[in-house]
Amino acid sequence: MARTGSGRRTTNETLSTAAVIGWLQAAQRVLDSIGASQLRQIDSAAELFASAISSEALVHVFGSGHSRISTEEMFPRIGSFPGFHPIAELALTNHVGVVGPNGLRQVLFLEKVEGFARVILQQIKVHPGDAFLLFSSSGVGGVVLEMALYLRTMGVPIVAVTSLDSDRRSRSRHSSGLKLAEVADVVIDNGSGAMDAVVEIPGLRHRVGPTSTIGAVAVVNAIKVATAAKLVARGVHPVVLDSPHFGNNEDAERQIELVYEDYFRRIRRAYDLNGALAVPETYSTSKVNGGRAHLPPVMPET
């Protein structure tokens, strides 16, 4: 009996190790794919963002659901810097309870509500010279796609991070029939497959272990470091959020205060009415594919 138990344990360990190695290999392929095919797109995004930040404009960053991870990875994060403005709409991102209040069911419903993106945009002030970085691995989510449509109508440049494999295999869930990759000025592939999860476990019907997060976060940091390099080349030295856990505590505290001050100074722009772009009541798809204007539900101004 002891030998049988040992044999089962060994078999279980082998299956477990194989699953881990399988996911790590898939994750490495995602990173390799980004390095092999997305450098030009990342450089284009960094050029756009460096231009905005160096001229005191903002790069607004938005994603719903788990894409909030990518938003917060851009800023505030160790090794990041002000100039990026993360937008985390809690109604679309705070679903850790899964069920009950603030559950996943509510988020999945709200992501499909047309007109919600306009309400979110009404709560910030976007100015000429600003840019947007949008995240959606599926590329078909209603709120993120609709936000891109409004921004496109407003003349705001858009960088989208999405799965191009998902784009090819999925249908739009929005009444416009469009996908995020069809609307953005710069499209960066996160390297993830359409189904996202990659590891097959014998006896388990569904795959486990998604890769879209590691791909998106890799793109975030690639854009971040490229933008920093371009800013320095322009003579603009970003105020970097350094690690508070090592070195001189006084220096670390002084540096984080500098980050706060720089962010305070820059973020005022997102609440400044003067010169802000109006959020239109309608958006047009004519700039994308020659379609006619689409009229979503119009929410009252607040």
64-91 confidence digits (pLDDT tens): 888 889 999 999 999 999 999 999 988 8
How far apart, in whole angstroms, are the C-alpha atoms of residue 174 and residue 145? 8
- Edge-first strand order for the sheet with 59-63 is 84-87, 59-63, 131-135, 158-162, 186-189
What average pLDDT score do residues 108-115 get? 86
Distance of CA 154 to the CA centre of its chain: 20
How far apart, in whole angstroms, are the C-alpha atoms of residue 191 and residue 119? 31
What average pLDDT score do residues 280-293 get? 61
Residue 294: φ, ψ to 5°: -110, 135
Task: Give pLDDT tens digits for 217-248.
Answer: 999 999 999 999 999 999 999 999 998 887 67
Is the per-residue pLDDT at 28 higher than 80? Answer: yes
Give the closest residue to 226 by CA, choosing from 48, 70, 57, 105: 48
What average pLDDT score do residues 126-140 get? 95
- Res 108: pLDDT: 85
- Res 8: pLDDT: 59
How far apart, in whole angstroms, are the C-alpha atoms of residue 8 and residue 6? 5
- Res 297: pLDDT: 35
Evaluate whether 42 touches 224 at the Cβ level (below 8 Å): no
What average pLDDT score do residues 267-295 get? 76
Question: What angle separates helix 39-54 from helix 212-233, to the nearest 10 degrees?
Answer: 50
Give the closest residue to 66 by CA, choosing from 119, 135, 112, 147: 135
What residue segments make up the domains of the chain, in order of their start? Answer: 2-288
- Res 250: pLDDT: 85
Between these two residues, 5 and 44, which has the higher pLDDT value? 44
Q: Please calculate the CA angle 95-99-105 and round it to the nearest 5 degrees.
A: 70
How far apart, in whole angstroms, are the C-alpha atoms of residue 212 and residue 245? 29
- Res 187: pLDDT: 97
Evaluate whether 170 touches 137 at the Cβ level (below 8 Å): no
- Res 198: pLDDT: 96
Pinpoint the alpha helices (H) of the chain: 2-37, 39-54, 68-74, 90-93, 104-110, 116-122, 142-154, 164-169, 212-233, 249-267, 286-289
Name every residue whose Cβ is closer than 8 Å to that of residue 8 and which is 6 or more positions away in sequence. none
Q: Please calculate the CA angle 139-142-145 and round it to the nearest 5 degrees.
A: 55
- Res 284: pLDDT: 77
What average pLDDT score do residues 162-179 get? 89
3: confidence class by pLDDT, cuts 50, 70, 90: very low
- Res 112: pLDDT: 82
- Res 251: pLDDT: 87
User: Domain spanning 2-288 has what CATH number?
Assistant: 3.40.50.10490
113: confidence class by pLDDT, cuts 50, 70, 90: confident
Between these two residues, 215 and 106, which has the higher pLDDT value? 215
Tokens at 208, concatenated: 């486990």
How far apart, in whole angstroms, are the C-alpha atoms of residue 111 and residue 99? 17
pLDDT, mean over the chain:
89
Strand 197-199 to strand 208-210: parallel, antiparallel, or no bridges (unpaired)?
A: antiparallel
- Res 296: pLDDT: 37
Task: Give pLDDT tens digits for 171-225.
Answer: 888 888 899 999 999 999 999 999 999 999 999 999 999 999 999 999 999 999 9
Pick left, alpha or beta for residue 191 (phi over 0 → left; psi -120 to 50 → alpha; otherwise beta).
left
